[in-house]
C-alpha cells in the first residue's frame, strides 16, 4: 500500500478510510459518554481506551508488509521508521496521552453535544501553533474562523447552567468545560508538531510510515495513561465498577472493548484519508460530522439542546467553512504560482539564443 498503489486500490482504501473515520469520529464520543452515563467513573481508564487499541494497527501493517514484499522482493524492510522520527513520535505520543486525559475528563462532566463544540476550537489553536512552529501565515479566513470559534465557545461559557447534566455540580461542570478547552488547545499544538516532524523527517511519507507513526504514538499515549491508571488503582476498581454498572457486568466489558476499537477506527481513518487524499479532506470530514455527533447524543442521551447551543454550533460550522475555504483558495493559488514558474522556465529553455 505504498506510493505505487494503483488507482482502484487507492479509491477502495479512501472509501474504507472515510467510513472508518466517520464511525470513529461519531462513535468515539458517544460510546465514551455512554460509559460515564451508565455508571462509569474511571477517567484514567476512559483516557487509556482512546489509544489502548493500538495493537489493531498491526493488522494493516502486516497487510502492507506482504503487499510491499510482492513488489520489492525478500529485501523488503520490516520497519521504515528512522530513529529521529521514532523519538519525535514518542514525545508526541506522551502529549497525546495527556490530551486523552483532558478529553476524557471533559466528556465525563459535559454533554456530548456541548463537548464536541468546545473541542472544535482546536482549529483556532492549530492555526496559532502552526504559525509559531511551521511558519504558516494567518489569512483573513483563518482569523475569521478563530473569532467565530472563540465567540461560539463564549456563548456556551455564558450559559453553563442551561444544559448541565442532572446531579452535576456547577463547579464540576465548569471544570469539565475548562479541561475540554485545554484538550482542544493541546490537540491544536500536537497537529503542527506532527506536521513539523514530517518536514524534518527527511524520508518519504508512505502509508506504512504513517501506520508506524500511529502505532508508536498510540503506544506511548497508552503508556502515559497506564501510569495514571496504576496510581489511581483503576485496574483493581474495574471488577467492582463492572458489577455495579447499570447495563450489567457483561455489557460493561462490551462498552469498554468497543470504546478502544472505535477510537482506533478514528486514527486509522485519518491516516488513510491523509495518504489517499489530503489532511484538509480529513479535517473537512471531521468538521462536517460535528452536527451528526451532536444529534446522535441528543437522541441517545436525551441531552438538552437550548438555543445558545444551536448558535454556538452554527458559529463553529461557519468558522470551519471559512477556514477550509481559505485553505483551499490558498492551495489553488500556490499551485497556480508553481505552474506559472514551470511555464516560464520551459519558455526560457526553448527560447533561441541570439548571438551578440
Residue among 266, 255, 119 at smallest CA distance from 186: 119
328 pLDDT higher than 80: no
Long-range CB contacts (within 8 A, 24+) of 260-264 = 260/49, 260/50, 260/52, 260/53, 261/53, 261/56, 262/23, 262/24, 262/27, 262/28, 262/31, 263/24, 263/28, 263/49, 263/50, 263/51, 263/53, 264/24, 264/53, 264/54, 264/56, 264/57, 264/218
Residue 292 — very low, low, confident or very high, per pLDDT cuts 50/70/90? confident
- pLDDT of 73: 80
> pLDDT per residue over 27-49, tens digit each?
999 999 999 999 999 999 999 99
123 pLDDT higher than 80: no
Helices (H), 38-135: 43-51, 58-72, 83-109, 112-119, 122-133
Of 91-100, 154-163, 290-299, highest mean pLDDT: 91-100
Q: Give whole-number Cα distances, 163 to 33, 182, 226, 266, in Å.
A: 15, 20, 32, 27
- The burial class, CB within 10 Å (0-12 / 13-18 / 19+), for 256 is buried
Under a CB-based contact definition with an 8 Å cutoff, are residues 196 and 39 in contact? no
> pLDDT per residue over 58-84, tens digit each?
999 998 888 888 888 888 888 889 899
- Of 10-19, 87-96, 142-151, 259-268, the poorest mean pLDDT is in 142-151
Measure the CA–CA gap between 248 and 241, rounded to whole angstroms: 10
Tell which wins on pLDDT, 295 or 105: 105
Phi, psi of 164 (to 5 degrees): -65, 130
Mean per-residue pLDDT, 207-233: 94
287 pLDDT higher than 80: no
DSSP letter, residue 55: G
288 pLDDT higher than 80: no
Kindly calculate the radius of gyration of the chain based on its CA atoms and give it in whole angstroms. Answer: 22
Mean per-residue pLDDT, 202-219: 88
Measure the CA–CA gap between 263 and 271, rounded to whole angstroms: 13
User: What percent of the chain has a predicted confidence (pLDDT) above 70?
Assistant: 88
353 pLDDT higher than 70: no
Residue 126 — very low, low, confident or very high, per pLDDT cuts 50/70/90? confident
User: What percent of the chain has a predicted confidence (pLDDT) above 90?
Assistant: 37
Amino acid at each position: 500500500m505504498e506510493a505505487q498503489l494503483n488507482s482502484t486500490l487507492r479509491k477502495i482504501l479512501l472509501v474504507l478510510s472515510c467510513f472508518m473515520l466517520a464511525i470513529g469520529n461519531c462513535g468515539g464520543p458517544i460510546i465514551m459518554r455512554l460509559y460515564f452515563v451508565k455508571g462509569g467513573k474511571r477517567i484514567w481508564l476512559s483516557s487509556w481506551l482512546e489509544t489502548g487499541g493500538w495493537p489493531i494497527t498491526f493488522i494493516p501493517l502486516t497487510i502492507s508488509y506482504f503487499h510491499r514484499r510482492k513488489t520489492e522482493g525478500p529485501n523488503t524492510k520490516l520497519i521504515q521508521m528512522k530513529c529521529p522520527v521514532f523519538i519525535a513520535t514518542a514525545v508526541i505520543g506522551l502529549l497525546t496521552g495527556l490530551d486523552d486525559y483532558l478529553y476524557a475528563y471533559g466528556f465525563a462532566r459535559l454533554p456530548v453535544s456541548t463537548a464536541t463544540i468546545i473541542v472544535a476550537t482546536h482549529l483556532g489553536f492549530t492555526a496559532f501553533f502552526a504559525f509559531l512552529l511551521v511558519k504558516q501565515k494567518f489569512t483573513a479566513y483563518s482569523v475569521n474562523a478563530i473569532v467565530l470559534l472563540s465567540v461560539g465557545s463564549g456563548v456556551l461559557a455564558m450559559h453553563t447552567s442551561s444544559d448541565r447534566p442532572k446531579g452535576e455540580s456547577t463547579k464540576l461542570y465548569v471544570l469539565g468545560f475548562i479541561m475540554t478547552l485545554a484538550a482542544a488547545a493541546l490537540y491544536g499544538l500536537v497537529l503542527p508538531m506532527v506536521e513539523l516532524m514530517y518536514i524534518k523527517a527527511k524520508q518519504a511519507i508512505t502509508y506504512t510510515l504513517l501506520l508506524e507513526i500511529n502505532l508508536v504514538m498510540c503506544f506511548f499515549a497508552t503508556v502515559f495513561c497506564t501510569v495514571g491508571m496504576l496510581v489511581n488503582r483503576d485496574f483493581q476498581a474495574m471488577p467492582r465498577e463492572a458489577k455495579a454498572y447499570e447495563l450489567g457486568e457483561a455489557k460493561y466489558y462490551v462498552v469498554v472493548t468497543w470504546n478502544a476499537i472505535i477510537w482506533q477506527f478514528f486514527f486509522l481513518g485519518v491516516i488513510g484519508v491523509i495518504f489517499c487524499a489530503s489532511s484538509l479532506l480529513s479535517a473537512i470530514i471531521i468538521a462536517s460530522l460535528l452536527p451528526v455527533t451532536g444529534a446522535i447524543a441528543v437522541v441517545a442521551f436525551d441531552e438538552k439542546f437550548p438555543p445558545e447551543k444551536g448558535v454556538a454550533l452554527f458559529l463553529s460550522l461557519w468558522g470551519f467553512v471559512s477556514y477550509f475555504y481559505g485553505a483551499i483558495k490558498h492551495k489553488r493559488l500556490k499551485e497556480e504560482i508553481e505552474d506559472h514558474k514551470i511555464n516560464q522556465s520551459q519558455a526560457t529553455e526553448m527560447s533561441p539564443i541570439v548571438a551578440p
